[in-house]
């Protein structure tokens, strides 16, 4: 096996994959709204739907025009947006991959929860000319333009983080947090830092024999999903040794024409790597989105990579490990705006007839940001570590609401 591939995959393991600490726990859960003091803010709630099928659209982008305020829809296509009352006549931009953008004045909400329907967009292949026939050459050009296409200044970002654990269809655990990200310029080799501002968790202790899992390093893992800041997650200079690339059908995001590139590990590579799609802006050659998954065919090796601890007598296998990253543009520069990790696990116990199945999700949405003009940084004791578990740091809370929104 190529030595460079081994080194690259070690970076994948340390930075990208969530480690799992398995402990005895119990509970079902209700889901809750994004927690924040509402003084001086107005709340706007809506569902984003496909205008033809009426299916809800998860992870649709919602941003307040003319500001850095944004969010994404949850798994039910719902969002809750908090907008300062000092903004006059605010409007929002709703966008989703493969759909036409929609602009809507917030005055149309009238204090109600509404439905926002998006129209699918169709792009003919003749509308875009490929400037680089070789998809691998296009990716190299994307990496080459990182300094000109992405933020070239220090930034402090505010983000909403949430992790959920479901046993079959029931929620076992929910943790939410507001975090501050201290991001360096994209060409800087300095590590981005993260600080926990506040957090909370919820669980209802009823099923004492229920097994749940703790996610280690959730916020740091989702922050590190920024593949343009940390390209070693997916690709290195020797990526041709590991991956095959091909062009897919074109699409559009935010009314911008997008190249779509498929990638997958070569059949000769036995070590688990990734497969998925990269979305590249046709005008600027900036990577705007990435969706990919880990090859989980080698169950034992993947389990060794991801499972930090497990109870004696339990076998843990991952059936899915997928990742989703989105970028937004502001003032001609792109920046990381959303990251999501989904893990599906099957746990088999000795002396138990049936397997237990779990779905784990960790996602982080940038809700606001500002330039770090004074180059502020975090003291070591203030920094969230990759070994930290948010559910342990969060205080318990109770809330009778059942909507799961930002």
Same domain, 180 and 308: yes
Same domain, 58 and 161: no
Q: Which residue has the higher pLDDT, 276 or 255?
A: 276
Banded model confidence at residue 287, pLDDT cuts 50, 70, 90: very high
Range of the structural domain that residue 104 is part of? 41-118
Predicted local distance difference test score (pLDDT) of residue 194 = 93
Evaluate if residue 248 carries a pLDDT over 50: yes
Provide mean pLDDT across the span 239-262. Answer: 85
Residues in the chain: 406
Banded model confidence at residue 253, pLDDT cuts 50, 70, 90: confident
Domain at 87, CATH number = 2.60.40.1120
Spell out the residues 6+ positions from residue 117 whose beta carbon is closer than 8 angstroms to its own.
Answer: 49, 50, 51, 54
Tokens standing for residue 393 = 């740091």
Banded model confidence at residue 355, pLDDT cuts 50, 70, 90: confident
Provide mean pLDDT across the span 364-377. Answer: 91
> In the chain, what percentage of residues exceed pLDDT 90?
32
Spell out the residues 6+ positions from residue 41 whose beta carbon is closer than 8 angstroms to its own.
Answer: 82, 83, 84, 85
DSSP 326-379: EEEEETTEEEEEEEEEEEEEEEEETT-SS-EEEEEEEEEEEEEEEE-TT-----
Per-residue model confidence as pLDDT tens digits over 33-69: 344 445 688 889 999 999 889 999 988 889 899 888 8
Per-residue model confidence as pLDDT tens digits over 68-101: 888 888 888 998 888 888 998 999 999 887 788 8
Per-residue model confidence as pLDDT tens digits over 121-130: 765 544 455 5
Evaluate if residue 14 carries a pLDDT over 50: no
Contact 228, 146 (CB under 8 A): yes
The number of folded domains in the chain is 2
Predicted local distance difference test score (pLDDT) of residue 163 = 85
Provide mean pLDDT across the span 326-343. Answer: 91
Same domain, 314 and 267: yes
Same domain, 100 and 136: no
Query: Which of 165-169, 279-283, 295-299 is predicted least confidently?
Result: 165-169
How many other β-carbons are positioned within 10 Å of the β-carbon of residue 248? 13
Look at residue 34 and tell me if it is in a domain: no
Same domain, 307 and 167: yes
Evaluate if residue 15 carries a pLDDT over 50: no
Predicted local distance difference test score (pLDDT) of residue 356 = 77
Tokens standing for residue 194 = 């993260």
Evaluate if residue 231 carries a pLDDT over 50: yes
Whole-prediction pTM value?
Answer: 0.79
Same domain, 288 and 329: yes
Provide mean pLDDT across the span 201-211. Answer: 51
Same domain, 110 and 45: yes
Same domain, 147 and 98: no
Look at residue 405 and tell me if it is in a domain: no
Please tell me the distance from the alpha carbon of residue 52 to that of residue 118, in angstroms, as a whole number.
Answer: 8
Phi–psi pair at 74, nearest 5 degrees? -85, -170
Instruction: Please classify residue 303 by burial: count the beta carbons closer than 10 Å to its beta carbon, then call 0-12 exposed, 13-18 middle and 19+ buried.
Output: middle
Look at residue 402 and tell me if it is in a domain: no
Phi–psi pair at 232, nearest 5 degrees? -65, -15
Same domain, 156 and 250: yes
**Residue 39, CA atoms < 13 Å, CB-side half-sphere:** 1
């Amino acid at each position: 096996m190529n030595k460079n591939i081994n080194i690259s995959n070690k970076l994948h393991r340390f930075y990208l994959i969530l480690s799992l600490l398995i402990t005895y726990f119990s509970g079902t859960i209700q889901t809750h709204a994004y927690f924040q003091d509402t003084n001086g803010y107005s709340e706007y709630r809506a569902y984003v739907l496909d205008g033809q099928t009426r299916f809800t659209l998860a992870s649709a982008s919602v941003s307040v025009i003319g500001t850095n305020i944004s969010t994404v829809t949850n798994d039910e296509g719902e969002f809750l947006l908090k907008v300062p009352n000092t903004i006059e006549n605010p409007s929002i931009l709703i966008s989703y991959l493969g759909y036409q953008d929609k602009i809507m004045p917030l005055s149309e909400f009238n204090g109600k929860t509404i439905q926002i329907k998006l129209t699918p967009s169709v792009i003919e292949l003749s509308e875009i000319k490929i400037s680089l026939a070789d998809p691998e050459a296009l990716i190299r050009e994307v990496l080459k333009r990182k300094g000109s296409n992405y933020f070239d200044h220090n930034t402090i970002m505010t983000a909403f983080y949430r992790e959920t654990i479901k046993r079959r269809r029931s929620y076992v655990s929910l943790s939410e947090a507001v975090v501050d990200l201290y991001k360096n310029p994209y060409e800087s080799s300095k590590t981005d830092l993260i600080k926990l501002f506040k957090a909370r968790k919820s669980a209802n202790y009823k099923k004492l024999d229920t097994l749940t899992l703790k996610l280690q390093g959730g916020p740091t893992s989702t922050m590190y999903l920024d593949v343009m800041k940390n390209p070693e997650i997916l690709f290195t200079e020797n990526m041709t040794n590991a991956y095959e690339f091909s062009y897919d059908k074109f699409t559009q995001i935010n009314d911008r024409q997008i190249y779509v590139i498929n990638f997958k590990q070569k059949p000769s590579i036995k070590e688990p790597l990734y497969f998925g799609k990269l979305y590249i802006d046709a005008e600027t050659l900036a990577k705007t989105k990435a969706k990919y998954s880990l090859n989980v065919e080698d169950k034992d090796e993947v389990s060794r990579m991801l499972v930090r601890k497990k109870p004696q007598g339990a076998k843990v296998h991952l059936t899915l490990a997928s990742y989703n990253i989105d970028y937004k543009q502001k003032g001609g520069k792109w920046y990381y705006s959303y990251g999501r990790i989904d893990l599906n696990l099957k746990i088999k116990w000795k002396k138990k007839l049936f397997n237990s199945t779990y779905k784990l999700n960790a996602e982080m949405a940038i809700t606001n940001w500002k330039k770090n003009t004074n180059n502020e940084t975090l003291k070591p004791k203030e920094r969230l570590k990759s070994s930290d578990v948010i559910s342990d740091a969060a205080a318990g809370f109770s809330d009778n609401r059942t909507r799961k929104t930002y």
